[in-house]
Amino acid sequence: MRDELPTAAIPGADLGWMLGVILQAWHEAVEDALSDVPQGIRGYRILTVAAHHKPATQSELARHLSIDRTVLPYILDELESAGLVERHVDAKDRRARRVVITDDGRVRLRRAEAAVQAAQDEVLAGVPTGTRKRFLHSASALALSIHSAQPYLDPCLAVLDVVRE
Amino acid sequence: MRDELPTAAIPGADLGWMLGVILQAWHEAVEDALSDVPQGIRGYRILTVAAHHKPATQSELARHLSIDRTVLPYILDELESAGLVERHVDAKDRRARRVVITDDGRVRLRRAEAAVQAAQDEVLAGVPTGTRKRFLHSASALALSIHSAQPYLDPCLAVLDVVRE
DNA sequence: TATTGTTATACTCTATAACTATA
DNA sequence: TATAGTTATAGAGTATAACAATA
């Protein structure tokens, strides 16, 4: 370990600071691009998971979004009253609700995905293609490494367990 | 543009999500390692800037930390009453206070830097050295690209204007 | 008895507004 | 008049606690 760290190169610009700068720019750009999706980025993520994974329960969604489960109801209420998702009682465990995306939800998601992609491209536009690729790939590897090492007994979301259509 | 994006590869794990996972892990580990520094990460960053840059005003520090200037007083109060920094009235503009680090502050910072480094190493330990290096370098390039494109008329902090001892 | 989802409440954090002292 | 720093207050966001339904 003890790599050639940019941390040492620019005092005050530690890794956390750098990631904060990037993430903040990403958030602003993407939140802006998602003005027509209820609850913005959170609503978008819920739609994404609902569309591409097998229906998750609210607890699973909460863990995936890294928020408390008590925050979910009002987010889902908005998505549901906008007709983008539905809460289905799980047949095997009638306490749990599976969040299912509607046809309208899929249409809205499709538009949103394009908008998010465009916004993200703009955030990344300041560095050359090679740097961009290296950043996306290494960030992906690192995030999955951290995520899969989470001490959850009950795993957050089987991120790799994707339902391919 | 339109690179081979992990975004498309793993639905629900967009760039913002990945950075959030990494940054959260970093925050937890580092905040933990900085238990003896008043105000944790923020206190640490203030000490770092005060030690390695020419003394910044509180407005400059606020912008560097991406917080409102009204949040700084209570942070500085703690650092000052712990004897780690001092507020010096700027001779050229008696309204402004320059935040200066004390000798005790430098000692505390030295310990803190080692602790932060160790914590960060642990966060990054899950991926191979090459990935780690690529991540740190590309993140650095991207963060500086975004940061220098900020629409501040009054620049946040001349990150490159470092005072080398 | 434990867990899912829900609601109400309390708490934390942040930003807004108003003030002072300088410019 | 505008800006740096400060303070008090209001607002947004979050978690804590208590509840009903189900396991």
Per-residue pLDDT of chain B (165 residues; tens, 9 = 90+): 444 444 446 888 899 999 999 999 999 999 999 999 999 999 999 999 999 999 999 999 999 999 999 999 999 999 999 999 999 999 999 999 999 999 999 999 999 999 999 999 999 999 999 999 999 999 999 999 999 887 543 344 554 344 333
pLDDT of res. A120: 97
Q: Which of A7, A120, A149 sits opposite B15 (nearest CB)?
A: A120
Residue A151: what pLDDT?
Answer: 57
Q: Out of B13, B52, B146, name the one closest to residue A12 (CB).
A: B52
CB contacts < 8 A, A to B, total: 210
Of all residues in chain B, the one with the smallest CA distance to A47 is B12
| Separation in Å: C9 C1' and B148 CA | 44
Instruction: Give kind and range of the element (H or E) at residue B101.
Output: strand B97-101
Annotate A53-104 with DSSP letters as a single string. BS-EEHHHHHHHHTS-GGGHHHHHHHHHHTTSEEEEE-SS-TT-EEEEE-HH
Give this prediction's pTM: 0.91
Asked whether the beta carbons of A52 and A99 are under 8 A apart, the reply is: no
**Cα angle, residue B134 at apex, residues B34 and A42 outer, rounded to 5°:** 65
Does A79 have pLDDT greater than 60?
yes
Q: Which residue is nearest to nucleotide C15 (CA to C1')?
A: B68
With 70 as the cut, is the pLDDT of residue A13 above it?
yes
Identify nearest nucleotide to residue B56 by CA to C1′ distance. Answer: D4
CB pair distance less than 8 Å for A18 and B121? no
Phi-psi label, residue A138: left if phi above 0, alpha if psi -120 to 50, beta otherwise: alpha
The residue type found at A38 is P
A58: CB within 7 A of chain C nucleic strand:
yes
**Tokens standing for residue A110:** 């499709």
pLDDT single digits (tens) A91-128: 999 999 999 999 999 999 999 999 999 999 999 999 99
Please give the C-alpha separations between residue B69 and each of A73, A145, B42, B57, B60, in angstroms, as whole numbers: 34, 36, 13, 10, 9
Q: To the nearest whole angstrom, how far is the Cα of A26 from the nearest Cα of chain B?
A: 7
Does residue B19 contact residue A19 with C-beta atoms inside 8 Å? yes
The residue in chain B having the minimum alpha-carbon distance to the alpha carbon of residue A20 is B23
Of A12, A22, A141, the CB nearest to B139: A22
Quick one: pLDDT at residue B10? 80
User: How does DSSP classify residue B55?
Assistant: -
The separation, in Å, between residue A164 CA and nucleotide C14 C1' comes to: 42
Q: What is the pLDDT of residue B4?
A: 45
Distance of alpha carbon A14 from its chain centroid, rounded?
24
What's the pLDDT tens digit per position in A14-31?
999 999 999 999 999 999
Q: CA of B133 to nearest chain A CA: how many angstroms apart?
A: 7
At A9 the pLDDT is 65
Query: Would you place residue A148 in the very low, low, confident or very high pLDDT band (cuts 50, 70, 90)?
Result: confident
Cα gap B109→B44, rounded to integer Å: 7
Contact B1 A25 (CB under 8 A): no
Q: Which pLDDT belongs to residue A150?
A: 73
Q: What percent of chain A is predicted at pLDDT more than 90?
A: 81
Indicate the SS3 state at residue A162: strand
Q: What does DSSP assign to residue B162?
A: B
Give the nucleotide nearest to B73 (CA→C1').
D6
Which amino acid does the sequence have at B123?
V
Amino acid identity for residue A123 in this structure: V
Contact residues, chain B, for A5 at CB < 8 Å: 117, 136
How many angstroms separate the CA of A138 from the C1' of D14?
31
